[in-house]
Amino acid sequence: MLEFIMLMHNDSVTQPTPEMWSSYLSFLRGRGVFEGGSSIGRGRAFREDGAPGKASEHLAGYIRVKAESLSSARELLAGNPVFECGGTVEIRELPRD
């Protein structure tokens, strides 16, 4: 099984409700693929030398999941509140050490 991170952007057409999140997280837990997640606040970018790249203001949260492939991880978007409300969800594979 591979690990993926779903990065939720704050560009939804409508706001997801707490009930939508509860239902979706229960779905992921029921399938045994939920590995954690959280909403995230604002931050700043830093660099030791020179001007840093711009911090992304679009990220609102993340969810870690297990899946066989990127295609399988994408199937887990069904019911994702950000996705269902018209927002963007980025899926990235987490490399193994």
Contacts (Cβ under 8 Å, ≥6 apart) of 28: 34, 63, 65, 76
CATH of the domain at 23: 3.30.70.1060
| pTM listed for this prediction | 0.89
80 in any annotated domain: yes
Q: What is the pLDDT of residues 15-30, one digit of tens each?
A: 999 999 999 999 999 9
Asked whether the predicted pLDDT for residue 84 surpasses 90, the reply is yes
Q: 50: pLDDT confidence band, cut at 50, 70 and 90?
A: confident
Give me the number of domains the chain comprises: 1
85 in any annotated domain: yes
Q: 55: pLDDT confidence band, cut at 50, 70 and 90?
A: confident
Asked whether the predicted pLDDT for residue 53 surpasses 90, the reply is no
User: Residue 82, Cα to own-chain centre: how many angstroms?
Assistant: 9
23 in any annotated domain: yes
Question: What integer pLDDT is reported at residue 30 of this predicted model?
Answer: 97
Q: Which structural domain, as residue segments, surrounds residue 88?
A: 2-40+57-94
52 in any annotated domain: no
User: How would you list the strands of the sheet with 2-9, edge to edge?
Assistant: 34-39, 59-67, 2-9, 89-94
